[in-house]
Amino acid sequence: MNERLQKLSAWMKDQDADVSFISSPDNVFYLSGFYTDPHERLLGLAVFQDEEPFLVCPAMERNDAQNAGWEYEIIGFKDTDNPWEMIQTSIAKRLPKTAQNIAIEKEHLNVERYEELKRIFPDAVQFISAEEKMRALRLIKDESELKALREAAALADYAIEVGASEIQEGKTELEVLAAIEFELKKKGVKQMSFSTMVLTGENAASPHGNPGQTKIKKGDFVLFDLGVVVDRYCSDITRTLAYGEVTEKQKEIYDTVLKAQLAAIEASKPGTACSTVDLAARDVITAAGYGEHFPHRLGHGLGINVHEYPSIMETSPLRLEEGMVFTIEPGIYVPGLAGVRIEDDVHVTASGLEVLTKYPKELQIIR
């Protein structure tokens, strides 16, 4: 078994868990090397303390799983099969008695599948969460993961560069967005981390606006929030550029966000609590009088999932460790006035941070 599966099995021994049923595509990929998202169809990876693991996936994906390097049993079910019966049989081959302690992903597994598992394991004493352990495993990135994250960040930088070059009077948000994704696809990008955001004017003043037919005009901020997936690892960058003149008030907001973002970077090194990182930025924004206009956490972990553990927020006592990768993205949103957010992807090193996204952050005014 690979090292990741071994670590999960070792944890299961500590927890006295007979079987882990891992069902989120991200964790299945992390443990098996095989990624698929079969949507409403079942996907699962059953891991044991000592027995060989097995994979459950739609029959038509069996070859893909093997090609991805999965060398253990695969239960490939057709739409007309009942995969739970097949799972029950494969588990019975491995466990002499009914499992009593089952680890599942409580934040992922739905109630229907939970009830199926309860049916398969009628004597189950308890269901415990495997999520905390999976998060702990995924929290610290190894070199192969960092390589993908760096490449994804470099492509995100390139995307902003394209976006900046597209800013022009009268162009719509969607036109700029199309140009960015077109250039990325030409570079071989197959997937964005999430729906690319290009927001201008009023639209940028909502922390979760949606790009549309709004046209860029002089005096507007243009906010880009996007990410690229490389080898299944995500980047996530935000830059806010100005078009034409900016008012003193707009400049004040921009400079406050930038100051906050740099303060959070400065505060981050192994041992710093996530809450301290959040507050380093939040205090700058609050002191400038914009506290109520920064309604979200400072950032989030980044890896296979674009939003993953940990949350960088004022209530998180978790301390930074070497190998963690997360975003730092303070923002100020004043309806009718401006929306500014600046976001980098950062990697905790022995002495501080490696900032993975490198597009400049000083206020850039396109004329």
- Name the site residues for its own copies (rule: CB under 8 A): 36, 39-40, 58-61, 63-64, 78-80, 104, 106-112, 114-115, 127, 129, 174-175, 177-179, 181-182, 185-186, 188-191, 195, 206-208, 210-213, 295-297, 307, 311, 313-315, 333, 335
Minimum separation from the CB atom of position 185 to its own copies (A)? 3
Judged by beta carbon, residue 234 or residue 242, the one nearer its own copies is 234
Task: Characterize the bridge pairing of strands 101-104 and 73-77.
Answer: unpaired
Strand-pair partners of 74? 55
Judged by beta carbon, residue 182 or residue 218, the one nearer its own copies is 182
Q: For residue 11, what are the CA distances in angstroms to 6, 73, 238? A: 9, 22, 37
Minimum separation from the CB atom of position 288 to its own copies (A)? 19
- Residue 118: which H helix or E strand, with range? helix 111-120
Judged by beta carbon, residue 242 or residue 340, the one nearer its own copies is 340
CA angle 34, 148, 54 (to 5 degrees): 15
Minimum separation from the CB atom of position 222 to its own copies (A)? 16
- Using a 10 angstrom Cβ sphere, with 0-12 exposed, 13-18 middle and 19 or more buried, the burial of residue 354 is middle
Q: What b/e string do you get for 208-228 counting C-beta neighbours within 10 Å, with b at 16 or more?
A: ebebeebebeeebbbbbbbbb
Q: What is the DSSP letter of 295?
A: -
Q: How many other C-beta atoms can be found within 10 angstroms of the C-beta atom of residue 125?
A: 13
Judged by beta carbon, residue 26 or residue 344, the one nearer its own copies is 26
Q: What b/e string do you get for 269-295 counting C-beta neighbours within 10 Å, with b at 16 or more?
A: eeebbbbbbbbbbbebbeebebeebbe
Minimum separation from the CB atom of position 365 to its own copies (A)? 26
Minimum separation from the CB atom of position 351 to its own copies (A)? 29
Minimum separation from the CB atom of position 101 to its own copies (A)? 15
Minimum separation from the CB atom of position 83 to its own copies (A)? 14
Contact of 286 with 298, CB cutoff 8 Å: no
Judged by beta carbon, residue 63 or residue 89, the one nearer its own copies is 63
First to last CA, the chain: 57
* C-alpha 42: how far from chain center: 22
Judged by beta carbon, residue 212 or residue 270, the one nearer its own copies is 212
Judged by beta carbon, residue 42 or residue 140, the one nearer its own copies is 42
Judged by beta carbon, residue 29 or residue 246, the one nearer its own copies is 29
3-class secondary-structure state, position 253: helix
Minimum separation from the CB atom of position 157 to its own copies (A)? 19
